[in-house]
Structures are given as structure tokens and as C-alpha cells.
Amino acid sequence: MRPWDIDAEPAGIKPLVPFKTSEELIEKSIACFTKLRPFFGECLKKMQELKHLDLESRKGKAPGGYNCPLAESGAPFIFMNAAGQMHDVTTMLHEGGHAVHSFLAHPLELNGFKDYPMEIAEVASMAMELFSMDEWETFFYRCNRSEKS
């Protein structure tokens, strides 16, 4: 056993399938955030309505994932390359944490107050990953919670 072996899955372990389409990722992320606090779900719903969620990987799309605050409307934009993996869920929840932070910072009077350093920005996103963990079952059950997906 070497240190690099601990990242490997034992033979026969099936990968988690938390979602199949970007629409399902959005729907489950909204449900997860809403259970945590309705305002968090409303933030993602508003971004969905404005088509500010570009989540699915596609040929020719730039790699990576980020949340981009938009100064005029206050509704940020999330860009990522989801492919149905558990890592995509944590990326979405992380970027969703940045998005909630963007919504909360938007009404601040001075732009200088919204220009926080990365150490502060990552508090919101990484805290959202941790806060939402109690609701991650949302990604493995249908919305009525009685059936396994």
C-alpha cells in the first residue's frame, strides 16, 4: 500500500450517480439549498430563470468552474463542466455558495465593499459545501423522497 493507492476505488465499487442531466443537477441543487434555507434556493431559482447557469460539459467548452457576479443585475452567473459525477455536485454547491454571497453583497452601497479578497470569498463557498452536507441525500432520491433514484 502506497500513499497514492488510497485514492483508488476497490474493484467492484460502482461510482455514485447523483444526476444525469444539467436540468436534474439544477433541480436537485435548488431542492438541497431550499431545505437548508429557502433564500438559498431562491437565489438558484432566479439564476435558472435568467439562464445564468451553464453547467453541462460540451465539446469546445472551456474547462473549469466559477461563479461570476454581475454588477448591474446583482444576479451572478455559474459556469462549470458537469458530467454526472459526485465531484460536480460539490462544485455546484461550492459555486452556489459564491452565488448566495454575490446576491447578499449586491445591495451594499459601495463597490469597494463587494470587492472582497479570495480568503473571504472562499469562506462562503466552502461553508456552503459543509452546511449542505446534511441535505446531500437530495441527490440520491427523487424529490418526493420515497423512491431511490
**Footprint on this chain of Zn ion (rule: CB under 5 A):** 125
Min separation Cβ 98 and Zn ion, Å? 6
Within 13 A of 47's CA, how many CA atoms are on the CB side? 34
Q: How far apart are CA 40 and CA 37, in angstroms?
A: 6
Between residues 75 and 121, which has the closer beta carbon with respect to Zn ion?
121
Q: How far is the CB of 60 from Zn ion (least distance, A)?
A: 25
In terms of CB distance, is 6 or 118 closer to Zn ion? 118
Residue 116 near residue 105, CB atoms below 8 Å: yes
Contact 109, 84 (CB under 8 A): no
**C-beta of 22 vs 102, nearer to Zn ion:** 102
**Which residue's Cβ has the minimum distance to Zn ion?**
125
Q: Smallest distance, Å, CB 10 to Zn ion? A: 31
- Tell me the closest approach of the beta carbon of residue 91 to Zn ion, in angstroms: 9
The torsion angles phi and psi of 42, rounded to 5 degrees, stand at -60, -35
Q: How far apart are CA 14 and CA 19, in angstroms?
A: 15
CB contact at 8 A, 32 and 136: yes
Look up residue 121 and give its amino acid.
A
Least Å distance, CB 96 to Zn ion, is 11
Which CB, 125 or 138, lies closer to Zn ion?
125
Q: Which is nearer to Zn ion, 25 or 124 (CB)?
A: 124
Q: Which residue has the cell 469562506?
A: 123
